[in-house]
Structure 1
Amino acid sequence: MLDKASLIIVAPELMLLAMACLIALVDLGVKTRLRTLTYWLSMGTLAFVAWSTAMLASEAQTSLYAFGHMVVSDPMGNWLKCFSALAMMVCLVYGRPYAADRDMMRGGEMFTLALFSLLGMFVMISGSNFLVIYLGLELLTLCSYALVALRRDHAQSTEAAMKYFVLGAMASGFLLYGLSMIYGATGSLDIGEVFKAVGSGRIRHDVLVFGLVFVVSGLAFKLGAVPFHMWIPDVYQGAPTSVTLMIGAAPELAAFAITIRLLVEGMIPLAIDWQQMLIVLAVGSLLVGNLAAIAQTNLKRMLAYSTIAQMGFVILGLASGVVNGNTLNGQYAYSASMFYVVTYVLTTLASFGIILLLARDGFESEEIADLAGLNQRSPLYAGVMAVCLLSLAGIPPLVGFYAKLAVLQALVSSGDMFHIGLAIFAVMMSLIGTFYYIRVIKVMYFDAPITVTTVSAPADVRAVLTINGALVLILGILPGGLMTLCFNAVVKTLAT
């Protein structure tokens, strides 16, 4: 029998499910090209869900469990849900004009699939059981496959969806096989029980590590880490740009959450094993991501390799939490990674927002050369794009600099010489990565424009994009509030 406390804990998920079904029905009667009613119902739903999860996060001091410890509500999870809902709102604001111009909104599928994919993220973030996490992951990925193929008459989008589907199915198989082996070794699907079993030391270590390899492989695919990164450039380039933004922003928050749930909350006694795997993934991601991005002429593909490099920094933070069996550095390392992934999503939203803004009917604005002379056409939008690129490069005083600094501090404060060496390597890779970001800024400010077309956008897109770009700058000047929020959320979550 359901109790009131359990229903309160899953209220945001129930709200999303009910409204996604209702919006799908209401949209049957909507005939306008921009699906105005569907759009505002979706935005209202997302705003309410973001507000409710923020309230739950600010009021919660400990972790609350529901449905026999299968679902958890804690500060970290609720803040990640709030940021995911806000990110999805921004994606819909930026993507609606683009989708309407390309006949992607003959029905309301884009809005309902976006809500269902967000529901999958919420389930992943709330999962305290292997099956719940996997169900949330599958709901997210199935919606993502459909979104990538939403432009039905576009061969490149269909090809990208097929690649995503094949590689995504393989990654899901890796994760499921690894979880099944851990279940076989520990006898439980509950993350808390797995932690107790692993900590007892009475189970076979080799079986656990073998299962752990497959789990880390599945997580690396979702994070887009090398060598499981093959799908990212092709899907980013092939998918409609509005969908690229949806699969490249909020899902990173959910991927970070399940990594914390599975590795930190469930298997931190095995940290010496999974941290070594994460370090290999991080080094490979920083190296391949930054070097491959230099050779790109397609802007979306360049940002895809940039994403791989950025995830390398997130993984470095996750890999520095336990030093010689001591977990004291964990709260700083994991909160630094959370701060990094949140600020990365914020910056990605604005950068892809500019690409969507410059696209028009029959023109995608996907090549770096398409940004030539943007400053002469629109100083505001060129400034927003420049701020985002400099933030991704880690230039002060933008928020990307403090995100990188937080991860580097976590590495150095561990006192381990190997971690200090990793920090030096990460700085060197960031210096290399600065080149391809600066190259785009040079094209915007110093190359002659290839068109004299003025840049225009609906009022809601202009307002949100301006706020988005301003936040990248403001949070760089005043990063303390968000850093404290991430730190407190991680400390309260891991304390229970």
Structure 2
Amino acid sequence: MGELKLPEIDYGALLPMLILFGAACVGILIEAALPKERRHAIQLSLALLSTVAALVAVILARDIRTITIGGAVAVDGPTLFLQGALLLLGLVSLLLIGERSLEAGGAFVSQAAITVGSQKDLRQAGSQPGGPEVYPLTLFALGGMLLFVAANDLLTMFVALEVLSLPLYLMCALARRRRLLSQEAALKYFLLGSYASAFFLFGVALIYGFAGGVQLSQVHDAVVTPERSQVLLYAGLALVAIGLLFKAALAPFHVWTPDVYQGAPTPITALMAACTKVAAFGALLRILYVSFEGVRWDFQPVLGGIAVLTMLVGAVLAVTQTDMKRLLAYSSIANAGYLLVGVLALNRDGLASTMFYLVAYGFSVLAAFGIVTLVRDADGEATHLSRWAGLGRKSPLFAGLFTFILLAFAGIPLTSGFTSKFAVFGAAIEGGQTWLVIFGVITSMLLAFPYLRVVVMMWLSEPGESTPSVSIPGALTSAALTIGVVATLALGVVPAPLIDLTNDAAQFVR
């Protein structure tokens, strides 16, 4: 019997994930050991410090290119870039979460200032510091996302998928005012996510039968061997793709998105809209570019059809929405379609432009949901579009910021939305996917209508009695909004530094 040999482990390459998982475990111990009134500040500080420490670890590991833990984890250019993006976006999300306490309105209420409601309401909101258990859950989700984009075998990818998903299911149910809506959203997300995970795992089993292994390099080598079973290959790829397309909110696997975005606490929705999309597309890029590039001519038309369907569903149904969070949900679905156009370029520019798009969209959507958390009345967030009429007269600063973000979503020049769409469409044309670009341009024009309708409503309508006030943001929310808006402007005006960074990082290792 041979001696058992443990795989070599590069702890420097794994340090960002170890920091987040370690901090999350410490956060659980804090929940059990400290009195309730002290937990919130300590948990928030721990979450922010550990995220910053993990980001520093990613920066220090920028020159590492390795496959470690017996081939389970690959640390390369896309891994480090996407991990850095996840940590930056996660840090901004934590600022939004930290400013608010989970309260009864399906959202967080500002502990710093509330401009509506009685002093009793303010005291009650302050006495509910927001369930500090949300912070270790967020760290577990972020740690799972870091592992998800680094996974170099399908089983590790499945484990990472569950690690990032389970905390999100729980956090979607943490709203306390409209508890039934929040818990209904969490249950839908959990049930549909479980089915998607089951499809993914069954696909892994079929690919193992096809390739004789689950490492992405083994699958790549098997794909180029013509005598292997093509039935197992295509069935396995289809089932694995279903699991990833669900997480990325691509049609027809998008149906959970509007309900979950509407029912979840808004800062949690912001975390999902920004970070989960980065993780899902990071894993999709790795699988398609590393393992299945040899059958690109077979899956490109199918995924191209899904991209077109996603763009059409997101653009058309966004026009019919009357709730701001559902409007942003369908906007997220449409943007997932644009991202898939970049993925299907299947060239270096496609990889680089998709990573650029993920960062640009992440900052914009965090700023958008940050503003949504501030538009409130005595009953909580005022998300119905009719309530936003005349908001520009009552709060011109925040209406102006929201207008700028909506113009970025519409792809207006001098915003990150224009630059990112131009990048992915250019890469797609170079990759021979001009037909997808045509649909992308048409749906972008359709999607501009609901954005401009909100802008017209805010600025050209008279404020009524039902027009809510805008809460004065605290320091953390102000920081999050500033980062999101400045990033949206900077990536539209001077995108070259990030474009250069994505080009340098656009190389997978096998």
Same fold, TM-score > 0.5, yes or no = yes
What is the aligned counterpart of 2:354 among 337, 348, 355?
337
Is 1:13 the counterpart of 2:17 in the alignment? Answer: yes
What amino acid is the match of 1:428?
Answer: I
What residue in structure 2 maps to residue 48 of structure 1? 53
Distance 1:55 1:133, change over 3 A: same
Deviation at 1:437, TM superposition (A): 0.6
Deviation at 1:90, TM superposition (A): 1.1
Is 1:458 the counterpart of 2:482 in the alignment? Answer: no
Distance 1:187 1:384, change over 3 A: same
What residue in structure 1 maps to residue 442 of structure 2? 428
CA distance, structure 2, for counterparts of residue 454 and residue 131 of structure 1: 47
Structure 2 unmatched runs, 5+: 105-124
Deviation at 1:440, TM superposition (A): 1.1
CA distance, structure 2, for counterparts of residue 471 and residue 265 of structure 1: 31
Which stretch has the larger CA shift, 353-362 or 213-222? Answer: 353-362
CA distance, structure 2, for counterparts of residue 100 and residue 166 of structure 1: 24
Deviation at 1:207, TM superposition (A): 2.0
Contact 2:370–2:480 at 8 Å: present in 1 too? no
Note the alpha carbon deviations across 1:257-315, whole angstroms, 9 max, x for none. Answer: 11012121111101112212210110000111100000001000011111111010111
Is 1:211 the counterpart of 2:236 in the alignment? Answer: yes
Query: Which aligned pairs between 1:352-431 and structure 2 lie closer than 5 A?
Result: 352-359=369-376, 362-414=379-431, 416=432, 419-431=433-445
Which stretch has the larger CA shift, 121-130 or 87-96? Answer: 87-96
CA distance, structure 2, for counterparts of residue 116 and residue 88 of structure 1: 12
What residue in structure 2 maps to residue 487 of structure 1? 503
What amino acid is the match of 1:109?
Answer: E
What residue in structure 2 maps to residue 183 of structure 1? 208
What is the aligned counterpart of 2:166 among 142, 150, 155?
142
Contact 2:102–2:176 at 8 Å: present in 1 too? no
What amino acid is the match of 2:478?
Answer: R
What residue in structure 2 maps to residue 326 of structure 1? none
What residue in structure 2 maps to residue 327 of structure 1? none
Contact 1:98–1:356 at 8 Å: present in 2 too? no
What is the aligned counterpart of 2:245 among 217, 220, 224?
220
Q: Secondary structure at the match of 1:99?
A: strand
CA distance, structure 2, for counterparts of residue 55 and residue 97 of structure 1: 30
What amino acid is the match of 2:350?
Answer: A
Structure 1 unmatched runs, 5+: 322-329
Contact 1:171–1:218 at 8 Å: present in 2 too? yes
What residue in structure 1 maps to residue 109 of structure 2? none
Deviation at 1:33, TM superposition (A): 8.2
CA distance, structure 2, for counterparts of residue 359 and residue 81 of structure 1: 34
Contact 1:99–1:242 at 8 Å: present in 2 too? no
Query: Which aligned pairs between 1:91-102 and structure 2 lie closer than 5 A?
Result: 91-102=93-104
Is 1:438 the counterpart of 2:452 in the alignment? Answer: yes
Identity value in percent? 33
Contact 2:171–2:268 at 8 Å: present in 1 too? yes
CA distance, structure 1, for counterparts of residue 341 and residue 455 of structure 2: 28
Which stretch has the larger CA shift, 205-214 or 231-240? Answer: 205-214
Query: Which aligned pairs between 1:251-330 and structure 2 lie closer than 5 A?
Result: 251-321=276-346, 330=347
Deviation at 1:331, TM superposition (A): 0.3
Q: Secondary structure at the match of 1:85?
A: helix
Deviation at 1:201, TM superposition (A): 2.4
Deviation at 1:370, TM superposition (A): 2.7
Deviation at 1:249, TM superposition (A): 1.3
Q: Secondary structure at the match of 1:68?
A: coil
Distance 1:452 1:19, change over 3 A: closer
What is the aligned counterpart of 2:494 among 474, 478, 484?
478
Deviation at 1:5, TM superposition (A): 5.3
CA distance, structure 1, for counterparts of residue 19 and residue 382 of structure 2: 37
Contact 1:285–1:308 at 8 Å: present in 2 too? yes
Q: Secondary structure at the match of 2:449?
A: helix
What residue in structure 2 maps to residue 170 of structure 1? 195
What amino acid is the match of 1:395?
Answer: I
CA distance, structure 2, for counterparts of residue 299 and residue 458 of structure 1: 22
Note the alpha carbon deviations across 1:459-483, whole angstroms, 9 max, x for none. Answer: 2211331232021011100011111
Normalized per residue, the structure richer in helix is 1
Distance 1:7 1:360, change over 3 A: farther
Contact 1:175–1:218 at 8 Å: present in 2 too? yes
What is the aligned counterpart of 1:36 among 20, 34, 41?
41
CA distance, structure 2, for counterparts of residue 480 and residue 350 of structure 1: 22
Contact 2:99–2:476 at 8 Å: present in 1 too? no
What is the aligned counterpart of 2:365 among 348, 357, 365?
348
Q: Secondary structure at the match of 2:67?
A: strand
CA distance, structure 1, for counterparts of residue 470 and residue 499 of structure 2: 39
Contact 2:376–2:468 at 8 Å: present in 1 too? no
Which stretch has the larger CA shift, 356-365 or 441-450? Answer: 356-365
Query: Which aligned pairs between 1:46-85 and structure 2 lie closer than 5 A?
Result: 46-57=51-62, 59-60=63-64, 63-85=65-87
Deviation at 1:361, TM superposition (A): 5.8
Task: Report the aligned-residue RMSD.
Answer: 1.9
Q: Secondary structure at the match of 2:374?
A: helix
